[in-house]
């Protein structure tokens, strides 16, 4: 009898341990499922959130910030706007047509609208030119299978307990994927996404010989979804800007840099680091021009630049011009880096990345040699030890008219 009483006392404890009580255990699966159900149950909602790309290198940290505003009205309307230092991007779906517009390109496209919210977010979630290229985590919860979207290829999915993020009590979930690490925080009260963090450092390490010393983390910070049925109809209307050109495929990839060999180098005019300094490509026609596209956070660039300084010193008094084109970084940050490294070569600032795109640059560093007639004669992508010797030989040949 005594044994029976002890067993009866232990059964509720066992039920708790095994998860059979009325209280559901918190798991990554339950948090994703609950958030998805919550988002999908809303007739309409809108959210303004921030995306930060945090880059940490031996030269120090760099943060690029963009602000997004999104509105959704079920079942087929969406308005997404991005504003950053690089560009303004709009994605508008009125239920009949899906429009994309990119301000710095002055182009837009229009296509038939998907007929469900799931198909619509599938089109939009990884749209090119949404700044980081990482996609928008919030839209993953509108997928037909959010669980699979976030975890299908994961090697580990862990619930990491309660946390406070941006002042909000949250549940923390870590998802380890083959090449990235995803962390999500879900509000304990709202059940919605409060913040996401994607660490892509392992991708850089794998894809670049200098990537191992870079840490790149992309954060999305959601201050709070506004549930409303009062979103104005105008929000989902696309008005064609006066200077915009319609194209069939706004996201057709630019020509690869290597495809530009033996072609006329596109004209450009860029500001330099020094006050009032300007670089116009046409001003140097008749000289051999060396262009190098680079960034301070790029490991191979930092290895290459001292070698290019040597080349500059060797040829600067000849019919030769070197322009180091920095892409999409602040003048102050670039100036500090150049001063600390004691580089004397000319530096041009491609703040919005337009010239980088015009030249089809897809990776850093990319070096181009332009002959005296203004045509691109040689292209080098990436950096390999000893490459400076080949570059010097090519410059000698071009100076000799070959």
d(CA 34, CA 187): 11
Catalytic residue among 121, 301, 323, 377: 301
Residue 14 has pLDDT above 80, yes or no: no
Residue 301 bears catalytic tag: yes
Which domains are delineated in the chain? 25-246 (2.50.20.10), 257-399 (3.40.30.10)
Residue predicted with more confidence, 129 or 400: 400
Residues 6 or more apart whose CB falls under 8 angstroms from that of 60 comprise none
Q: What is the pLDDT of residues 364-385, one digit of tens each?
A: 899 999 999 999 999 998 887 7
Confidence of residue 121 (pLDDT cuts 50, 70, 90): confident
pTM, whole model, 2 decimals?
Answer: 0.66
- The DSSP string of 288-343 is EEEEEEE-TT-HHHHHHHHHHHHHHHHHTTSSEEEEEEEES--HHHHHHHHHHHT-
Residue 126 has pLDDT above 60, yes or no: no
Q: What is the pLDDT of residues 234-252, one digit of tens each?
A: 999 999 999 899 988 776 6
Strand partners, 182: 175, 198
Q: Percentage of residues in the chain with pLDDT exceeding 90?
A: 49
CB 100 within 8 A of CB 250: yes
Q: What is the pLDDT of residues 135-161, one digit of tens each?
A: 688 888 988 889 988 998 889 999 999
d(CA 118, CA 326): 39
Which range scores top for mean pLDDT: 27-36, 129-138, 175-184? Answer: 27-36
> Three-state DSSP class for 172?
strand
Helix (H) or strand (E) holding 204: helix 201-207
Q: What is the pLDDT of residues 183-231, one digit of tens each?
A: 999 999 999 999 999 998 886 666 554 445 678 898 999 987 766 667 8
**In 10-44, which positions are buried (b, 16+ CB within 10 angstroms) versus exposed (e)?**
eeeeeeeeeeeeeeeebebeebbebbbebbeebeb
Residue 93 bears catalytic tag: no
Q: What is the pLDDT of residues 294-320, one digit of tens each?
A: 998 887 888 889 999 999 999 999 999
Confidence of residue 362 (pLDDT cuts 50, 70, 90): confident
Residue 395 has pLDDT above 80, yes or no: yes
d(CA 338, CA 327): 14
Mean confidence (pLDDT) of the chain: 84
Residue 402 has pLDDT above 80, yes or no: no
Q: What is the pLDDT of residues 102-118, one digit of tens each?
A: 887 788 999 999 888 88
E-strand spans in 85-180? Answer: 88-93, 97-102, 107-112, 156-165, 168-176
What pLDDT does 320 receive?
A: 97
Catalytic residue among 53, 231, 298, 324: 298
Confidence of residue 19 (pLDDT cuts 50, 70, 90): very low
User: Exposed, middle or buried: residue 66 (CB in 10 Å: 0-12, 13-18, 19+)?
Assistant: buried
Q: What is the pLDDT of residues 274-290, one digit of tens each?
A: 889 999 999 999 999 99
């Amino acid at each position: 009898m005594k044994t029976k009483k002890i067993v009866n006392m232990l059964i509720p404890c066992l039920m708790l341990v095994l998860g059979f009580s009325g209280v559901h255990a918190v798991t990554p699966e339950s948090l994703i499922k609950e958030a998805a159900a919550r988002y999908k149950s809303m007739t309409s909602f809108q959210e303004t959130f921030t995306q930060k790309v945090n880059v940490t290198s031996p030269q120090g940290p760099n943060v690029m910030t963009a602000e997004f505003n999104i509105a959704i009205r079920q079942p087929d309307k969406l308005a997404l706007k991005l504003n950053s230092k690089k560009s303004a991007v709009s994605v508008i779906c009125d239920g009949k047509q899906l429009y994309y517009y990119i301000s710095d390109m002055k182009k837009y496209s229009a296509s038939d609208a998907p007929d469900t919210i799931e198909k619509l977010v599938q089109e939009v979630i990884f749209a090119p030119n949404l700044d980081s290229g990482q996609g928008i985590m919030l839209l993953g919860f509108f997928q037909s299978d959010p669980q699979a979207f976030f975890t299908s290829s994961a090697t580990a999915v862990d619930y990491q307990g309660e946390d406070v993020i941006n002042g909000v009590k949250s549940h923390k979930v870590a998802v380890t994927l083959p090449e990235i690490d995803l962390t999500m925080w879900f509000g304990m009260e709202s059940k919605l996404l409060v913040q996401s963090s994607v660490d892509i450092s392992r991708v850089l390490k794998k894809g670049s010989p200098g990537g191992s010393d870079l840490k790149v983390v992309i954060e999305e910070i959601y201050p709070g979804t506004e549930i409303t049925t009062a979103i104005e109809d105008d929000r989902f209307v696309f008005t064609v800007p006066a200077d915009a050109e319609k194209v069939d495929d706004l996201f057709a990839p630019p020509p690869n840099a290597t495809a530009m060999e033996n072609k006329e180098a596109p004209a450009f005019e860029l500001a330099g680091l020094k006050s009032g300094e300007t670089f116009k490509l046409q001003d140097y026609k008749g000289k051999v021009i060396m262009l190098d596209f680079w960034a301070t956070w790029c490991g191979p660039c930092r290895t290459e630049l001292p070698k290019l300084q040597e080349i500059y010193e060797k040829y600067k008094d000849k019919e030769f011009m070197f322009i180091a084109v920095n892409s999409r970084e602040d003048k102050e940050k670039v100036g500090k880096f150049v001063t600390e490294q004691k580089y004397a070569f000319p530096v041009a600032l491609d703040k919005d990345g337009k010239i980088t795109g015009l030249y089809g640059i897809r990776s850093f560093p990319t070096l181009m040699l332009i002959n005296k007639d203004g045509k691109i004669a040689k292209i080098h992508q990436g950096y390999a030890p000893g490459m400076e010797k080949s570059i010097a030989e090519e410059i000698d040949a071009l100076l000799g008219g070959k």
